[in-house]
Amino acid sequence: MKIRLGVNIDHVATVRNARGETYPSPLRAALLAQKNGADSVTIHLREDRRHINEFDLKQIKKKLKIPLNLEIAATNEMLKIALKSRPPFICIVPEKRKEITTEGGLNLDYKKNFLENLINKLKKNKSRVSLFIEPSLKDIKKAKKLNADCVEIHTGKFCNLINENKNYRKELIRIKNVVKFGNELGLEVHAGHGLTYTSAKVLTKIDGIKEFNIGHFLVGESIFVGMSSAIRSFKKILK
């Protein structure tokens, strides 16, 4: 079964922001992703705006024809922005100011009532809501209880093992079991974080993952082969 590819373009904005310039343009990257077969475009509006900002969100939301997937932390500020912008997809992620990237999945016990309320408000506003979680059976169960539509499994640990040429079998089985359980509970299951051509290819062997969200490696690879080519290579892997 074909797996959807979500292209995360945050790091196009990271390069732009490194010089405080107006280029490279995240909007241009989003439209190029769309042209080359991306099924959705992902952007993470961080509290510190280290990559994309509200102006990017507004522009991309207005011009993009494929679904926009907005990643946000569970805060009042982000809830307000997400309700106003109403992207078709939303993924709730944990956020720590000092981290380099999203280091792990959500703690679903922290501010549980707030989280539940936030999910329901976003769903009522017609956004599909996903929760970014660790590959844990307990968290899958909690995500279902919180009324999420989807879960996105944090694949960071698995990808690191592959990158370091270490044995990844145990972690792969862990992900496999979680994907199966998520599907049994009626959740749509996605995967993301740290994915490369190699790790994405291994994960396609697991049945039941409907969407991959890929950013950092893809933007890096674009330096050498161009973004169109990098996206098409991932599309081939996900076929």
Binding site for ligand PXP (CB under 6 A): 8, 44, 71, 91, 93, 101-102, 132, 152, 192-195, 213-217
Contact partners, residue 146, CB within 8 Å, separation at least 6:
108, 112, 115, 116, 119, 131
Which of 11, 51, 71, 134 does the annotation list as catalytic?
71
Q: What is the DSSP letter of 108?
A: T
- The CA distance from 85 to 63, in Å, is 13
* In the complex, minimum distance from the CB of residue 93 to ligand PXP, in angstroms, rounded to a whole number: 5
Return the number of the residue (56 or 152) whose C-beta is nearest ligand PXP.
152
With a CB cutoff of 8 Å and minimum separation 6, the contacts of 235 are: 5, 36, 37
Indicate the DSSP class of residue 136. Answer: -
In the block, which residue shows the tokens 């040429």?
165
Active site residue 154: no
For the question of residue 71 being annotated catalytic, the response is: yes
Which residue's CB is nearer to ligand PXP, number 9 or number 64? 9
Cα angle 125-6-190, degrees, rounded to a multiple of 5: 75
Q: How far, in Å, CA of 60 to CA of 77, rounded?
A: 20
Residue 102 beta carbon to ligand PXP: minimum distance, rounded to whole angstroms: 4
Q: Which is nearer to ligand PXP, 62 or 110 (CB)?
A: 110
Shortest CB 42 distance to ligand PXP, Å: 6
Q: Which is nearer to ligand PXP, 176 or 216 (CB)?
A: 216
Q: Are strands 40-44 and 68-72 parallel, antiparallel or unpaired?
A: parallel
Among residues 226, 237, 228, which one has the least CA distance to residue 195?
Answer: 237
Q: Please identify which of the residues 134, 193, 211, 221 carries the catalytic annotation.
A: 193
What minimum distance in Å lies between the beta carbon of 116 and ligand PXP?
A: 19
Is 216 known to be catalytic? Answer: no
Active site residue ranges: 44, 71, 193
